[in-house]
Structures are given as C-alpha cells and as structure tokens.
Chains A and B, each alone.
Chain A
Amino acid sequence: MDANLDRDADLFQPPGPPEGEAGASVERLVAALKRRNRDRIVAEWLQPERSARTAAFPAGLDARIVDALGRRGIQRLYSHQAEAAAHALAGRHVVVATPTASGKSLCYHLPVLQGLLADGTRALYLFPTKALAQDQVAELLALNAAANLGVRAMTFDGDTPADARRVVREQGDIVVSNPDMLHQGILPHHPKWARFFESLRYVVIDELHAYRGVFGSHMANVIRRLRRVCRFHGREPVFILSSATIANPGELAERLVGAPVAAVTESGAPQGRRTVLVWNPPLVNADLNLRASARSQTARVARVAVKAGLASIVFANSRLTVEVLAKYLKDVFDRDPRRPPRVAAYRGGYLPGERRDKERKLRAGKIDCVVTTSALELGVDIGALDVAVLNGYPGSIAATWQRLGRAGRRGKPSLGVLVASSELIDQFLARHPEHLFGVSPEHARIDPDQLLILMDHLRCAAFELPFRAGETFGPHGLEPLLGYLVEHGVLHREGEAWHWIADSYPANAVSLRAVADGNFTVIDVTGGGQDILGEVDYSAAPLTLYEGAIYLHQARPWQVERLDWTGRKAFVTRTRADYYTDAIDYTRLKVLDVFGEARGAAAACAHGEVHVVRRVAGYKKIRYYTHENVGYGPVNLPDQEMHTTAVWWTLDKAVLDAAFPSRQAALDGFLGAARALHHVAALLSMSEPRDLGRAVGDGAATWSAVLGGDGRGSLRTLEGASLEPDADARRFRPTLHLYDNYPGGIGLSAPLFAQRDALVGRARDLVEACPCLAGCPACVGPVLAPREGLGAKQAALVVLGLLAGRSSVASGQPGEGGHGPH
C-alpha cells in the first residue's frame, strides 16, 4: 500500500529531470545494441520528450476534494483531466483516450467524488478484470484517506462473500465490479439494488479498448440492459470511459453506450523520450528466407537489458512462449536456487494469490524481468519499467503501443524493441515498418446486433423487466424476436407486454468472454497429493491439456497424466522432460447455406453459413534450444463444433485440372494461398488473425487438407485417415474457406466477401513480392525443401492468380509457375 501511495503521487507530479542513472543506462543500452546489431535493426523510431500541459481545477469543485488532491501533491490537473471532468460534470458522456500512465483515472474520480460529496449520488466502476478493479479501489482509498472524504468504495465481484453483498448494495457509494458480475450478479437482481440504482449518477468503464470483437459486442448489450434497468429506477447515468490509444475511441464508446459521447484524445501528461527498435532476426538460409528464431533473439535482448541493470518486461503472444522464454532467462539469471528469483513469468491461468504476489514484487522492484502475455498489457499496476521487449507482433497496432507503453514512467527515457517472428505479418512489418509508426492504430469494432449475441441478451433483459410494446433494444424491430422467444416458451405475451415465464436464470447460460465456459483446473498429483496448480480456459484446453502434453508453469514442466474432460480437470505430475509439446490440429468445414455468390472468369467466391469441426489429432515433442522434433503422440479428444459464417473460393473444374500438373500441387497451392489470404484478411478487416479461421477442404466435410511436417499438404478423411489426392478424382474440388472464429459469426465474413477483389489482390502481391525461392514462413508457409514439379509458392501464386480472375496456366517448371500470361 505504501508503494502504491508513492507511485500515485509521482504520477501526478510535474516531471523532474530524468534520473541520471536509469536514464543514462537506457541511452547506453540503445547505443550498444545499435553498434553490435546494425544488420538486425531494420527500423528505429524516436518519440520525443513532451512536457506537461496543465489546467486549473474545475470551478465549483468541492473544497474537500481540492484538499485531498493537495495532500497527494496535486495542485493542478493535466489538460485532458480537466477537459474530461468538465464534460462529465455537465452531464455529457465522455471518453478519454490517452497513453498508458497519463493519469486517466483522475478523469473519472473527480466528477464521481464531486457528485458524491455535493449531491450524495453514487457511481459504478467497471473494469474488464478483477485484478484491475482491486488496483483502482486501492488508489481511490488512498485519495479518500488523504482528506477523510468518508467515501465508501466497495468491490463487488465473485470473491465478495455472501454476507458482505447486502452491505455493498446498500452502503456502497462507489461499487467496483466487472462486466461479468454486472451481467450475472447485479442486473438480474436489480430490485435488490434499487437504492443503488435510484441514486446512480456515473458509470465508469475503464480499459474501453478491451471491449472489442465478441466481448465488446456482449458488453454493448450488457450496457443496453444496464440503461434499461436504470430508466426503470428513474435514472439516466452519465458514462465516463477511458481507453488506451485506438483509432476510434469516440466511435467505439458511442457504439458501446448507444448514445453520443464526447472524445478527449489530447494528453496533457509529460512523457520521456522513447526509442523503439524493430528487430529482425538474422537470415540463416537465404534461399528459404529462414531466420533465426525470434525467441532466442528476444531472450538475448532481454538478457542484455537486465545485465545493464534495467527493469524489463518481455511480452509473448502465447502462454507456451511465455514459459519457454522464462526458462531461457531463468537459466541465465536464476541458476542459484538460494537467491530470490530475478525473473518471473506472469500469465493468465495462474491462481489469483500467485498473481497478486508477483504484482507486489514487481511494484517493489524485487523482480528484474517479467515475462508475460497480454495479461500485463492492461493497467495492472506493476510500477515503473525501463525496457519492453515484444516477442512478435501482438496482432494489432493498438496492442503494440499498449505494450511498449509499459516501459517509461515519470519522464524517464525508455526503450521498446519489437522482435519480428517468422510469421507473415511480422515479416511484412519488418519490410514496411512505416505501418507501425505512420498509420493510426486499429479501429476497434463491435457488432452488438449479431443475432446470436443479441438474442442472448434479449433473454436476460426480458428476465430483468418485462418488455412493453414500442420498447427498443438496438435497431432491430423487437416484436419478431420476442415472438421467437414466445414460441420457445420462455416469454409469455399478455396484451402489450412480454413476461419471462421460464424456470431458468438466463444470464448463467451466457458467458461474455468465451463460447463455452468451464475453466479446466490443473491439479498437481506428484507424490499423491492434490494441489491446484493453475487454470486453463475452455478454448485453450484441447491445445494444452491433452494426455501426454507438457504443461509449463513458472518455466517448470509438468506432464498431463489424465484429462477429465467432463469434470474439467487435468491431473499432472512433475517431470524432467527436456522437450515441450505442441498440438497438431485440423479443421473440417461444411457449407450449410449460401448467402451470396460471385463468379469470375475461372473461379467463384461465396459467403454463407458453415458448420466447423476442429479436431486435435496429435502432438509434436520439441526439444529445447535445438527446436528439433523428437517425437509424436496421438490425442483423443472430443471435437469442437460450431456454426458460423465464412467466405470461400473455388476454381472451375476444367480450370483446376488444366492449371496443375498434379492434385498434390493444387493442394499445396490452396494451402499456401489460404495462409496468405488469412493474414491479409485479418489486416483488411482490422481484426486479429485468431478472430478468423482457415480451412481447405471440399466444402462437404468429406475431406480436409492438413499441412505435414515437410510443408506439403495431405488429405484426411472425416475419421482422420489419410487419403491419396488422386484416389477419387471426381470428388477432388478443393475449396478455400476463411471463417469467423466465433459461433454464429461476429460479422467478419460479409465485409470480406465485399472486399474479395482487394483481398485476393493483396495476398497475391504479398506472395509475389516475397524474396524467398519456394515458400517461407513470411508468405505461403515454411517449405523444408523445394521439390520437383511445382513448388508450393508457385502453386499458391497460380491459385491466387486464378482466383483474381486472370487466366493463368502453370507450366510445371519450378520457379515459373504463376508467371503465366498476365
């Protein structure tokens, strides 16, 4: 708590001169890195120092608040704080989008405290995670304690004991919660919260940028329900939102709140000089465009930074990579078991106590290097850091800046290094770093009216209050939707009202974050005990907890002995394995319904509804450091199924037969083209690659294509048996699918269908411009050795060329395919 107080005071104070020590060593580190790695640093970007712009407190601010701020060392506000507070105090919804650590929380604490002290009104604070909520309460309590404001700020989440809940409901001036709790615990019980809602004036939504995609679409509906319930209790609360830098904070806030929102985007906070380097691992095989692994380069940069005495944070894009990187760094810095560890891993799936402990150690400066996933991208308070190293592009420009922003506080110089992986997008950015620095960050998109999500929340809303004729809930006409629920027996229409009559609690059936809920518990049974080691969410479980998998926790390996799928438990034992495991999965897809179709000269593109089955077929064992494949194992798990929407392409049969010397070549071409299209589609739709799935099959789920270890495609039947491409010539009609990776679809496939020409064109340019000979991770995927006949890259170019509507006939000569008559 003391550490917290110090940090908060620092946050609002005008910047002092950069503290010589750390400042100078960041500069020294930058110079040293540049001297020794000239060929690896492909771009350098300098964000200049910026001094503070301040403003006076809003007129009429309660004297007790002014006193409390004064005691915390705050005499004036940053300009964005004053601007935001003025909007809120005037009753206008407002969103503040300024960089990490610019003092955003004061933007909402001020009007909230003013309303509370002057008029006795209350506030609801929503944070995307419980951890963030706890930090904000601590900060609020510090302000409260500074001048005895008498504010009762209370947390209401899944950990709040039953007997304390009544106290929170009736006495909380500021209730701090999260969307899930609002959705399942507060709104369905709103009559119990009547006193709270009757005096609710402000709703604060922090970390707005976290509410995109599916989660954001759910959140917009939760807010519709919240505003509906507030109206019932006679209030129209003012929303105050805060966001990291994204391209469209105002638009996102308006979509989320469903009303006009003023946007404050100019930060008045001071900032130290920041250097950002884009680092491309050296080429190890020019023909194959193969580069050294990003992991070893990331570990190397982090090692140099820690040795230079700089507090560092390393971001990786998967939990597995976090554990592998933590092991590499621990092997260097934590060899002596008698000394406290200097390196820590921090990711989702650790138990709350363990996470709190790590956060405390980080704030206290007891850890020199933390390796993490996006878990620390959000505003968890971990104190000041000097260097941020990103192992791979996080998938969006906004997330990149959010991560880089973790380094550099109090006007000190800082360093950010983005280490490009061999992935397609990373290599694209290494060639075109201007995309990172010049372009505005992504638009965060949500689709609150996605039918599946809307219907989920319509059920919940009907449970909370009967619907009346003429009422609205989003732009759709309500009557047919309510009629559907009547047909399903959950609503009853009586005159002009629809009442909930089912014997169920609909909010419990709706998870805001994942498709299926039910986290898996990982239980350590080494030595006969039963200790809970961690948690894995449902969607990640098939890929990480199959029997035989190596489960890494704090860089130490456990092996999964048994997986209880229905009981959501994995039993693990300690092991000394020198390898880790990576799941092999493949996807089958069946077209159910065609919404629209367009025909080109040789190809057809369509979009519609599909049924997707994902199966984990087995796993690879990969040895540390050498990354060699040391074995395979089978996996036997239930399939993951969903209905969603997709866009897909096929070639006319005659064209297909004429264009490729063999079916194998056609298959390689489709797989390579699918990979390029997938990544380009993610860029074009401003979503992340994992929001889309790709599959090559026949569109009827009789077979699907998978990529073997050698980079060549092979066919699998429904049962997973392999199939010769030439075995059944009549049925060979490869279809390339990109699907919306969420049940029901989140609205990505229709815009992709509309942009199909740009999509195919950009993918073709990308593959064509790649300097490799036959295919590499940066274009169509890694191919170990060019084969005879048509290479995978050339085959992909033929496919993309034909899809683009050009008549292209492959010659069958390596290196020439795809360059037929244009």
Chain B
Amino acid sequence: MDLTELRRRLGRPGFPPAAPPEGRGMADSDLLARLEAVRRRGQTAPMRREPALVDRLGGFELAPGVVEVVRRHALALRHGRVPLAWLAEIDGDRGGLLRWRGRLDPERLVFLDTETTGLAGGAGTVAFLIGVARLAAGTLQTRQWLLTAFSGEAALLDRLAVELGRDDVLVSFNGKSFDAPLINTRGRLLGRGEMLRGRAHIDLLHALRRGHARSLPDCRLKTAEGRLLGLDRGHDLPGDQAPAAWRDWLRDGYGARLNEVLAHNRADLLSTAALLAVLAGEGMPGPIFAAPS
C-alpha cells in the first residue's frame, strides 16, 4: 500500500493512473513519515557473508568484498580452432594490423576484459568483475577479481595495479573506448588516479576493422569468434545478462549465476588472446581458416 502510494505520486506520464486510495489524501510530510516507516520495517540486511560463495566459485577472498579466481589453461589446448601455443610464438606485428612497432614480448602481454553494471559509462557504472590473462609457467593463466560488495572495490583496483608491470602491454577488445576509461573513472572515484592512462594498449577491435571490415558482416567479438577463430560459444551466458546476475547477488544473495559470469569473462579473455595470435600473424601467406560455409 505504501509503495503503491509512492509510485502513484511519483508516477510519470505514461504510467497507467492508479485508482484513488480510500480515505483522505496526505501531504508530502505524511507521505515521508510513512515512507520512513517502510524503511524501518524493511531495513536491509547487513553486508552478506557467504563463505559458500567463495568455495562455489573456486576462489579465495582476496580482501573483504573481493574474490579472486585463478585458472590455468594449457597451451596444448585450442580455443576454437586456434592453438593457444601460437601465443607463445608471437614476435611482432607481421601484417601491420596492430600498428605495433618493434618486437612484441608474449610474456609482457596482459589480456584485459571487464564486466560492468551497464554500458552507459559515467560515474555510476561499476566494473564488478575485472579479468586478466597472461602467459605464465607454460600456461595461459587467467586471474579474475569479482566484487561481492562495493566495499571491496579499492582492494580490487589496488590488486590490478600490482598485477600490471611497468612494461606490460594491455590487449583488449574495444578496451580503449570502454574498459580502460571505465577503470580510469573508478580509479579517480576511489582516489587512485587514472590507473591505465599512458599505458601501452592494443585494441583488437581497431585491428579487426583494419583487416576485416569488408569481409565480415560486422566487427563484433562474436562474429570474429565464429569466422576467425572457428568458435561457437553455444550455451555461454550472454554478456548482457551479467549485470543482472550480479545485481541478483547483491540484492538477494542469490549467487548461482556468478559462476557463469566468471566463465563468460574467461571465454572473452581467451578469445581476445586467440584473436591477437591470429591478427598478429596475418602477414603470413594464405588464409588461416576458410570461412565457415
């Protein structure tokens, strides 16, 4: 009743008008008093602690509010049809699609992908999951930091800063326009400055456009995965459902879908890595794969 009342009073044009309530109306001050009562009754639960979540995700609590999940992917594996071992063989930008001068040290590449609460950008968009991948000890290692509460964001950003060495090169898909500015914004808001400003960064979306804008129907990651990597993500959680999955966790403590979010983010990281291997090698003669018929 109280919420109906408020919704009606705050309803915007276009909302169907609610039936008039019984009895007398009330002034704003009464309304606010009743609202306050609603608040007290429905006082939200204190910060959730769910040790079970950490275990279910197969990670550990890096700091209050942040879970870290580490996975190793053997280089003998293929992502789609691309052997991950190709990554270790990258030595430079053979076809010039990356616009990278000089040698590329595979050990210094850090693949980056974030999951965010929205695509709008601005101060109200949060990167609730930041994933990185790099070659380590003969594997491709992914490291993901998931916020389980807003209070963990500072620790997450600090951990990311530690992760990035001085000479590391970021590799992303559309990260120059989206992920990097967003992380810079979060850094500003948490008093850590523009963390990624001035860092070497290869954005594969630009390379893809340079090399394949005419041969592909569009330059989305999904299209590149199908056509260039021979990969079908199948039942993967669609990326646009990730924010809702995280909000479900925040609001109701329902974390069942967070595992899928992590898996989706890892798959994006592997695609980014495999795509770099393909695009860096495009100077080699002959097509790598025939386009699927």
**Is A43 interfacial (CB 8 A cutoff)?**
no
DSSP majority for the A interface? mixed
**In the complex with contacts A476-B32, A494-B150, A608-B25, A592-B247 CB distance below 8 A:** no
**B188 partner, pick from A194, A462, A463, A477, beta carbons under 8 A:** A194
**Cβ-defined contact, B188 with A191, below 8 A:** yes
What is the 8 Å Cβ interface bit string for chain A, positions 573-607, against chain B (1 contact, 0 not)? 00000000000000000111111000000000000
Is A462 within 8 A of B124, CB to CB? yes
| CB-based contact B17/A497 at 8 Å | no
Say whether B251 contacts A477, CB under 8 Å.
Answer: no
Q: Are A643 and B11 in touch, CB under 8 angstroms?
A: yes
Residue of B nearest to A193 (CB): B188
- Tell me if B120 is interfacial: C-beta within 8 Å of chain A: yes
Chain B nearest CB, measured from A501 CB (Å): 6
Q: Would you give the shortest CB distance from B151 to chain A, in whole angstroms?
A: 7
A743–B12 CB distance below 8 A? yes
Q: How far, in angstroms, from A489 to B117 measured CA to CA in the complex? A: 13
Q: State how many angstroms separate the Cβ of B29 from the closest Cβ of chain A.
A: 9
Interface contact B20-A463, CB-CB below 8 Å: no
CB of A540 closer than 8 Å to a CB of B: no
Contacts of B70 in A (CB 8 A): none
Q: Are A592 and B20 in contact (CB under 8 A)?
A: yes
User: Please, how many angstroms separate the alpha-carbon atoms of A611 and B185 in the complex?
Assistant: 43
Q: What per-residue 1/0 map shows which CB atoms of A486-508 lie under 8 Å from chain B?
A: 11010011110101111111100
| Least distance between B128 CB and chain A CB atoms (Å) | 9
Nearest-CB residue, chain B, relative to A608:
B25
Q: Number of A-B pairs whose CB atoms are under 8 Å?
A: 130
B50 to nearest A CB, angstroms?
14
Task: Write the B42-65 contact mask toward A (1 if CB under 8 angstroms, else 0).
Answer: 101011000000000000000000
Partner of B20, one of A191, A462, A503, A593: A593
Residue B103 at the A interface, CB < 8 A? no
Which residues in window 136-184 of B have CB below 8 A to A? 149-151, 181, 184
**B10 partner residues in chain A, CB cutoff 8 A:** 451-452, 455, 484, 744
B34 to chain A: closest residue by CB: A480
Q: Which residues of A contact B46 (CB under 8 A)?
A: 495
**Residue A655 lies at the interface, judged by CB distance under 8 Å to chain B:** no
B200 within 8 Å of A (CB atoms): no
Residue A481, interface by CB 8 Å = yes
Instruction: Given A455-B10, A479-B39, A743-B13, decide whether A189 and B118 contact each other with a Cβ distance below 8 A.
Output: no
Contact for B117 among A495, A501, A594, A643, CB less than 8 A = A501
B243 at the interface (CB under 8 A from A): yes
Contact B32 A477 (CB under 8 A): yes
B27 at the interface (CB under 8 A from A): yes
B9: which A residues are within 8 A, CB to CB? 451, 609, 744
Q: Is the pair A480, B11 in contact by a Cβ cutoff of 8 Å?
A: no
- Is A553 part of the contact surface with B, judged by Cβ < 8 Å? no
Distance (whole angstroms) from the CB of A254 to the closest CB of chain B: 22
Complex Cα gap A37–B250 (Å): 77
Output the least CB separation between A245 and chain B (Å).
33
Name the one of B20, B44, B122, B251 contacting A489, with C-beta atoms under 8 angstroms. B251
Which of B14, B35, B151, B181 lies in contact with A481, CB distance below 8 A?
Answer: B35
Cα–Cα, bound, A465→B20 (Å): 36
Q: Which B16-32 residues sit within 8 Å CB-CB of chain A?
A: 17-18, 20-21, 24-28, 32
Interface residues on B, range: 35 or more
Q: A476 to nearest B CB, angstroms?
A: 7
Residues facing A in B262-291 (CB within 8 A) are none
CA distance A609 to B25 in the complex (A): 9
Chain B, residue nearest A495 (CB):
B47
- Closest chain-B Cβ to A91's Cβ sits at a distance in Å of 26
A750 nearest in chain B by CB position: B27
* Cα(A189)–Cα(B121), bound, Å: 8
Q: Considering only CB atoms, which chain A residue lies closest to B123 in the complex?
A: A464
Residue of A nearest to B188 (CB): A191
Interface residues of A in 451-485 (CB under 8 A from B): 451-452, 455, 462-466, 476-477, 479-481, 483-484
A483 touches B124 (CB 8 A): no
List the A side residues contacting B107 at CB < 8 Å: none
B123 contact set on A, CB distance < 8 A: 188-191, 463-465
Cβ-neighbour of B151 out of A462, A483, A484, A494 (below 8 A): A494
A483, B27: Cβ atoms closer than 8 Å: no
Bound complex: CA A504 to CA B32 (Å)? 26
Contact A493:B118 (CB < 8 A) given known A455-B10, A480-B35, A643-B13? no
Within 8 Å by CB of B36, from A479, A486, A609, A641, lies A479
**In whole angstroms, what is the CA distance A486 to B43 when docked?**
11
**Interchain CB contact under 8 A, A493 and B122:** no
A516 at interface, CB cutoff 8 A: yes
Option from A481, A503, A593, A743 in Cβ contact (under 8 Å) with B118: A503
CA distance A516 to B126 in the complex (A): 29
Do A188 and B124 have beta carbons less than 8 Å apart? yes
List A contacts of B6 (CB < 8 A): 484
Is A532's CB within 8 Å of the partner chain B? no
User: Are A463's CB and B151's CB within 8 A?
Assistant: no
Say yes or no: B122 contacts A505, CB within 8 Å. yes
In the assembled complex, A131 has its CB within 8 A of some CB on chain B: no
Task: Collect the chain A residues with CB atoms within 8 Å of residue B17's CB.
Answer: 590, 592, 611, 643
Given that A494-B150, A495-B47, A593-B20 are contacting pairs, would A189 and B122 also be in contact in the complex, using a CB cutoff of 8 Å?
Answer: yes
Give the distance in Å from the alpha carbon of A194 to the alpha carbon of B189 in the complex.
9
Chain B nearest CB: distance from A468 CB in Å? 12
When C-beta atoms are compared, the residue in chain B nearest to A592 turns out to be: B20
CB-CB under 8 A from A493, the residues of chain B are 44
Are B28's CB and A502's CB within 8 A? no
Q: Are B3 and A487 in contact (CB under 8 A)?
A: yes
Interfacial chain B residues near A466, Cβ < 8 Å: 150
Q: How far is the CB of A638 from chain B (nearest CB, A)?
A: 11
CB distance from A748 to the nearest CB of B (A): 15
- List, in ascending order, chain A residues with CB within 8 A of B76's CB: none
Q: A483-B38, A494-B149, A501-B250 are in contact. Are A595 and B25 (CB under 8 A)?
A: yes
Query: Given A477-B32, A480-B36, A486-B44, are A188 and B122 also a contact pair (CB < 8 Å)?
Result: yes
In the complex, chain B residues whose CB is within 8 Å of the CB of A502: 117-118, 124
Contacts of B189 in A (CB 8 A): 191, 465
Judge whether A595 and B39 touch: CB under 8 Å.
no
Contact indicator A191/B185 (Cβ below 8 Å): yes
Give which listed residue, B13, B21, B149, contacts A515 with CB less than 8 A.
B13
Is B119 an interface residue, CB under 8 A from the partner? yes
Q: In the complex, what residues of A have CB within 8 A of residue B35's CB?
A: 480-481, 483-484
Q: Which of A477, A499, A595, A744 touches B27 (beta carbons < 8 Å)? A: A595
7 shortest interchain CB distances as A-B pairs: A463-B124, A480-B35, A191-B188, A503-B118, A593-B25, A505-B120, A483-B39
Can you report 16 residue pairs joining A to B where beta carbons are below 8 Å apart?
Answer: A451-B9, A463-B124, A465-B189, A479-B39, A483-B42, A487-B3, A489-B247, A495-B151, A499-B150, A501-B247, A502-B118, A592-B18, A594-B25, A641-B14, A743-B12, A744-B10
Q: List 8 additional contacts besides A484-B35, A502-B124; criterion CB under 8 Å.
A: A465-B123, A483-B35, A489-B251, A492-B250, A493-B44, A494-B150, A591-B20, A594-B24
